[in-house]
Amino acid sequence: MTLEEDCLAVLARDLGPAARGFLDRQCRNHLKKEPSALQKTDLEELAKWCAIGIQLVLGAQVAENAKKGILALK
C-alpha cells in the first residue's frame, strides 16, 4: 500500500467515502502537493491540518482519532 492509501484508510474509518475529497483538499491547500506525492516527512503536517479541518466539521474527538491514526503511519 502507498502512503496515500494508508492515509485514506485511516481517514475512512471516521469519514467513510468523504475521506478521499478531504485528503485531496488538505494536501493541495496546506501541503501544496498531490496525495500521491506524500512522504513520511509530510505526515506530521498532514496530521495537524487534518485534525484542524475535522475538528471544525465533526468535533474534537473525531479529529483526535484521525490525528493519532495518521501519526501512527510514521
Partner 1 sequence: MKIRTKLLLSYLLIVGLFVAAGATITYNTMQVANLQNTVKQQVEINNNAYAYQQGLDQKQFGTLMYSSDNTTEGERIIVRSAEIMEPAKVYLLSALANSPDLLSKFNGVVAIDSNQINNAITQVYAIYTSNASDTDKYVQIWGQLTLLMNSVSLADAQLAEVREATLANVQNATVESQNYANFSLLLAVIFIAVIGVTSGILAFVMGKRITDPLRKLADIAHKVSLGDLNQRYYLKQKIDIKTGDEIDELVDAFKRMINAFRMTEALAKEEQETIKP
The reply on whether position 22 binds partner 1 by CB under 8 A is yes
Q: Given candidates 7, 8, 10, 15, which one binds partner 1 under the rule CB under 8 A?
A: 15
C-alpha angle with apex 2: 13 to 26, nearest 5 degrees?
60
Please select the residue that binds partner 1; options are 4, 6, 49, 58, rule is CB under 8 A: 58
Q: Please report where in the chains the cell 485534525 appears, as a residue.
A: 51
Q: Minimum CB separation from partner 1 for residue 33, in Å? A: 19
Q: How far apart are CA 1 and CA 51, in angstroms?
A: 23
Q: For residue 42, count other CB atoms closer than 10 A to its CB.
A: 18
Q: Applying CB under 8 A, which residues contact partner 1?
A: 12-19, 21-22, 25, 54, 56-59, 61-62
